[in-house]
Amino acid sequence: MNENILIINSGSSSLKFQLIEMPSEKVKASGLVERIGQALGKIHYKSAAFNTSEEMEIKDHSVALKAVTRHLMHKDYGVIKDPVEIPAIGHRVVHGGASFSDTIVIDEKVKSKIRELFSLAPLHNPPNLKGIEVAEEIFPQAKQVAVFDTAFHQNIPERANRYAIPNEFYDREKIQVYGFHGTSHKYVSEKANEYLDKKDTKLITVHLGNGCSMTAIKDGKSVDHSLGFGPVNGLIMGTRSGDIDQSVIFYLIEQLGYSAKEVSDLLHHKSGMLGLTGYSDLRDIEEQAENGNRECKLALEMNAYRIKKYIGAYAAAMNGLDAVVFTAGIGENSDVIRKLVCQDMEYLGLHLDHDKNSVRSKEIREIGKEEAAVKILVIPTNEELEIAKQTLAML
């Protein structure tokens, strides 16, 4: 029997949604509410037979989800007639800390714990919780389920998830590597194993979007990850710095007079590709680089170089490599970044086929040469479907 699962990804000023019929995996409706809290918001709604956008005042997340529900139930193009037709709602929650190692049905204790973790993911957990509370109000009959970005990385061994600081900070404060984008890395790694027709694999999954991360996955389990205690280190991202010498932070505070809050804002919102080029959208950066902009060309090279270093480190950590998997908006669509990453990597068995790399597709595809020892795959991620699968299991 098929069930309607509503997937909600609630951000600070946006709310993404999909209504997926499970286990058939049929997407009945999807969309985005953006500019929540601004003077004029916008809702995009799409179903098999209809596609529309509407501008309206969306003062908060409650108004946003009510607008989504109105579209889902619209007499002309809706896909349900009553909210009771949705028995479960799956919520993406970014940080589960040490408390959540798996998907869980939400109750007051779970909400309280998510609230306690606000300081670890200040950009994400507060709006994630707001989405849960609003969904409880509008769909009181539905089972609310939390799927944590950090859960997939709970298997990372201590040698990789501990920081070399006094043990008391780990024992008392649980300061460690948590990792993020777990639903994406889990989804594409399982698809890669299906494609390779084997389970005992050594994979490196490269999730490149506005936020970026890489995971070393051995035999289906995350064994190392580029993001850590919070979602700002590792790779160079749209506005986040990625790895940085801690001495720079001390210098900014002690010598240049920045407050800790100002440094946090600098590293989260004003750094990365934006700080290097003035642009945060990679499409703009690639266009400028092609037109000779030196800063943009250097930023692309720095971005790819950081990824290459992690590939080398993870191949060493796993003592081998079967495939490198590119995914998410940039990973799936930027042939420029993939080319820069894979060039001069023959020693590790990576041989890019430039013709295959230039092809765009929504299907799983190989972009390496057939004779190469290591596969280079592009696999479109589907975090919503992964959340839907885990939510259905809770029913």
Comparison of pLDDT for 325 and 371, the residue scoring more? 325
Retrieve residue 89's tokens. Answer: 């709602």
* Whole-number pLDDT of residue 138: 86
329 is in an annotated binding site: yes
Same domain, residue pair 202 and 139: no
Kindly state the greatest CA–CA separation across the chain.
64
368 is in an annotated binding site: no
Q: Phi first, then psi: what are they for 130, rounded to 5°?
A: -60, -40
208 is in an annotated binding site: yes
265 is in an annotated binding site: no
11 is in an annotated binding site: no
Mean pLDDT of the chain: 92
- Binned at pLDDT 50, 70 and 90, residue 1 comes out as confident
124 is in an annotated binding site: no
| pLDDT digit string, tens, across residues 166-196 | 999 999 888 999 998 998 999 999 999 999 9
Same domain, residue pair 271 and 134: no
| pLDDT digit string, tens, across residues 93-122 | 988 887 888 899 999 999 999 998 887 777
Same domain, residue pair 143 and 208: no
C-beta of residue 175 within 8 angstroms of C-beta of residue 165: yes
C-beta of residue 20 within 8 angstroms of C-beta of residue 29: no
Comparison of pLDDT for 7 and 94, the residue scoring more? 7
Q: Residue 167, class by beta-carbon neighbours within 10 Å (0-12 exposed, 13-18 middle, 19+ buried)?
A: exposed
Q: Is residue 189 part of a domain?
A: no
333 is in an annotated binding site: yes
Mean pLDDT of 124-153: 89
Same domain, residue pair 245 and 101: no
Query: Nearest-CA neighbor of 66 among 83, 53, 79?
Result: 83
C-beta of residue 205 within 8 angstroms of C-beta of residue 217: yes
* Whole-number pLDDT of residue 130: 86
Reply yes or no on whether the pLDDT at 375 is more than 80.
Answer: yes
Name which of 12-26, 150-164, 244-258 the model is least confident about: 12-26
Q: Would you tell me how many other CB atoms lie within 10 Å of the CB of residue 271?
A: 20
107 among known catalytic residues: no
- Binned at pLDDT 50, 70 and 90, residue 36 comes out as confident
Q: Is residue 330 part of a domain?
A: yes
CATH number at residue 125: 3.30.420.40
Cα 145 to Cα 7: distance, rounded to the nearest angstrom = 10
Q: Is residue 214 part of a domain?
A: yes
Strand partners, 26: 21
Q: What is the SS3 string spanning the chain?
A: CCEEEEEEEECCCEEEEEEEEECCCEEEEEEEEECCCCCCEEEEEEECCCEEEEEECCCCHHHHHHHHHHHHCCCCCCCCCCHHHCCEEEEEECCCCCCCCCCEECCHHHHHHHHHHHHHCCCCHHHHHHHHHHHHHHCCCCEEEEEECCHHHHHCCHHHHCCCCCHHHHHHHCCCCCCCCHHHHHHHHHHHHHHHCCCCCEEEEEEECCCEEEEEEECCEEEEECCCCCCCCCCCCCCCCCCCCHHHHHHHHHCCCCCHHHHHHHHHHCCHHHHHHCCCCHHHHHHHHHCCCHHHHHHHHHHHHHHHHHHHHHHHHHCCCCEEEEEHHHHHHCHHHHHHHHCCCHHHCCCECHHHHCCCCCCCEECECCCCCCEEEECCCCHHHHHHHHHHHHC
Same domain, residue pair 284 and 219: yes
Same domain, residue pair 247 and 358: yes
Same domain, residue pair 215 and 308: yes
C-beta of residue 205 within 8 angstroms of C-beta of residue 191: no
Cα 229 to Cα 147: distance, rounded to the nearest angstrom = 18
Query: Nearest-CA neighbor of 310 among 381, 233, 232, 385?
Result: 233
| pLDDT digit string, tens, across residues 244-269 | 999 999 999 999 999 999 999 999 98
| Segments forming the whole domain that contains residue 366 | 197-378
* Whole-number pLDDT of residue 319: 96
Q: Is residue 252 part of a domain?
A: yes
pTM over 0.85? The answer is yes
Same domain, residue pair 73 and 141: yes
- Binned at pLDDT 50, 70 and 90, residue 125 comes out as confident
Q: Is residue 164 part of a domain?
A: no
281 is in an annotated binding site: yes
Q: Is residue 186 part of a domain?
A: no
Angle among Cα 258, 264, 268 to the nearest 5 degrees reads 135
Same domain, residue pair 143 and 48: yes
* Whole-number pLDDT of residue 353: 94
* Whole-number pLDDT of residue 35: 82
211 is in an annotated binding site: yes
Reply yes or no on whether the pLDDT at 336 is more than 80.
Answer: yes
Name which of 54-63, 251-260, 275-284, 358-367 the model is least confident about: 54-63
330 is in an annotated binding site: yes
Same domain, residue pair 288 and 360: yes
| pLDDT digit string, tens, across residues 203-243 | 999 999 888 999 999 999 999 999 999 889 999 999 899 99
Strand partners, 22: 3
44 is in an annotated binding site: no
* Whole-number pLDDT of residue 88: 94
Q: Is residue 243 part of a domain?
A: yes
Domain count, the chain: 2
Q: Is residue 117 part of a domain?
A: yes
Retrieve residue 281's tokens. Answer: 């959208």
Catalytic residue among 149, 200, 322, 335: 149
